Amino acid sequence: MKPIRVLVVDDSPLVRETLSQVLTSDPEIEIMATASDPFVAADRIQQEIPDVILLDVEMPRMDGITFLRKIMEQRPIPVVMCSSLTEEGAETTLRALEYGAVDIITKPRLGTQEFLRESRETLCEVVKAAGRARMRRVLPVEPALTADAVLARPGSHAMACTTDKVALIGASTGGTEALRIVLESMPADAPGLLIVQHMPEQFTAAFAQRLDQLCSITVKEAQNGDAVLRGRALLAPGNRHLLLKRNGARYYVEVRDGPRVCRHRPSVDVLFRSGARYAGRNAVGVLMTGMGNDGAQGLQELRQAGAETIAQDEATCVVFGMPQEAIKLGAARRVVPLPAIGGAILGACQ
């Protein structure tokens, strides 16, 4: 296979050099070029199209979000946003995923060799996943208004009752927009949902808040001991595993540290295994777009425990890695296109 050619766009020469060194340590990646800002990058793209663009968020002359939108409107190329912003800038960076970015990573802290060693594998895997991503032209879409524009919806307390059914969802590359589509299709009394999305820890709280604003159900970043309730989705915090637990008829979650599983924390396999153990046939497991094999073994364990198991189909995946591995294992009872996954979850929970 030919190496994945990367264009690094960042206003800091030291960051460009560091990222180039980290990426070229992987034989499957080569640096096509570097650019100090989007204008230099645009000139370089006219000469040669990269396989992946690693794009900073804040730059002089033109910010990364504006440049991303121009790329996606004119000539879609897989873009990974590289941000040093923390909680206060998470909303801006998450907007990049809506505009078509494949993934986001946190910028390596320069001069910290231990951090660079730990982040190398993650950075290289994200870039390789982006290189395999299916890109589609992103067109601006007017938001669909609901009755919320006129009258606030009732508080979620009306749904605060224990549910017998629980849906467990895992996703990685391309999963942020896929999750939005699935969760927006959920009615206010949907079964409780637990979600693992591979994402840096600075961004999961903001991602949950954004989904909460868009969806009829409540979406929040999970905290240890949170109850699994109808009309609520709990998102695994970045860098922490999320487990389903049960006390009698009551489901709740445990958020814990632990080793990386399938090179990830949180891991979909960990969530699915806990679902097989504590919910069994009352669970619905869904494995969506993403690179690698995290979740495949866990989905098989769910199926063996009697749960309904669903994998996203190849045509609607950004990266058909995780679902493909589950399908190969025979872990998925059903293979479903993205627009139909919400309905499949609801049907399985009836």
294 catalytic? Reply is yes
- Active-site choice (20, 83, 198, 313): 198
- Active-site choice (10, 56, 212, 294): 294
Residue with tokens 């968020």: 57
212 catalytic? Reply is no
- Active-site choice (20, 51, 83, 172): 172
198 catalytic? Reply is yes
Structure tokens at 187: 């009615």
Instruction: List residues with catalytic annotation.
Output: 172, 198, 294
